[in-house]
Structure 1
Amino acid sequence: MSAFDTPAAASAAGQHWNAQDYAIDAGFVPLLGGAVARLLDPRAGERILDLGCGDGVLTTELALSGARITGVDASPELVIAARARGVDAQVMDGHALAFDGQFDAVFSNAALHWMGNPDRVLEGVRRALRPGGRFVAEFGGHGNVASIVAAVQAARVAHGHGTSTFQWYFPTAEAYADRLRQHGFQVQLIETLPRPTPLPTGVAGWLRVFAAPLLDDLPAEIRATVRSAATTLLDDLPRNAQGQALADYVRLRVLARRR
Structure 2
Amino acid sequence: MGSIHEWKAELYDDKLGFVSQYGRGILEILNVQQGERVLDLGCGTGDLSHEIGELGASVIGMDLSEEMMARARNKYPEINFVRGNAESFTLNGPVNAVFSNAALHWVKNAEGVIASVWNALEDGGRFVAEFGGKGNVEMIVKSITDVLAQDYAVDANELNPWYFPSIGEYSQLLEQQGFRVTYAVHFDRPTQLEDGENGLMHWLNGLAADVFFKDFSELEKKDIFTKITNKARASLFNGESWIADYKRLRVVALK
- Tell me which interval the TM-score lies in, with the shorter structure as reference length: over 0.9
Separation of aligned partners in 1, 2:21 and 2:94? 28
Matched, 1:102 2:94: yes
Separation of aligned partners in 2, 1:226 and 1:158? 11
Q: Which residue of 2 aligns with 1:33?
A: 23
Q: Which residue of 2 aligns with 1:171?
A: 165
Matched, 1:190 2:184: yes
Contact 2:95–2:122 (8 Å) recurs in 1? yes
Q: Which residue of 2 aligns with 1:228?
A: 226
* Offset at residue 100 of structure 1 (A): 6.0
> What pairs up with 1:25-174 in 2 under 5 angstroms?
25-86=15-76, 87-99=79-91, 102-164=94-156, 165-167=158-160, 168-174=162-168
Separation of aligned partners in 2, 1:220 and 1:152? 16
* Offset at residue 96 of structure 1 (A): 1.5
Q: Which amino acid aligns with 1:252?
A: L
> What pairs up with 1:15-34 in 2 under 5 angstroms?
15-34=5-24
Q: Which amino acid aligns with 1:199?
A: L
* Offset at residue 219 of structure 1 (A): 4.3
RMSD: 1.5
Contact 1:74–1:91 (8 Å) recurs in 2? yes
TM-score, scaled relative to structure 2: 0.92
**DSSP 3-state at the match of 1:16:** coil
Contact 1:105–1:136 (8 Å) recurs in 2? yes
Contact 1:154–1:163 (8 Å) recurs in 2? no
* Offset at residue 218 of structure 1 (A): 3.6
Identity of aligned residues (%): 36
* Offset at residue 59 of structure 1 (A): 1.2
Give the paired residue count: 247
Q: Which residue of 1 aligns with 2:250?
A: 253
Separation of aligned partners in 2, 1:100 and 1:131? 16
Contact 1:99–1:124 (8 Å) recurs in 2? no
Contact 2:236–2:245 (8 Å) recurs in 1? no
Out of 230, 235, 238, the residue aligned to residue 237 of structure 1 is 235
Once superposed, which parts of structure 1, at least 4 consecutive aligned residues long, lie more than 4 Å away? Answer: none
* Offset at residue 244 of structure 1 (A): 1.6
Separation of aligned partners in 2, 1:130 and 1:100? 12
* Offset at residue 47 of structure 1 (A): 0.1
Q: Which amino acid aligns with 1:53?
A: C
Matched, 1:210 2:207: yes
* Greater helix fraction, Structure 1 or Structure 2: 2
Q: Which amino acid aligns with 2:247?
A: V
Q: Which amino acid aligns with 1:185?
A: F
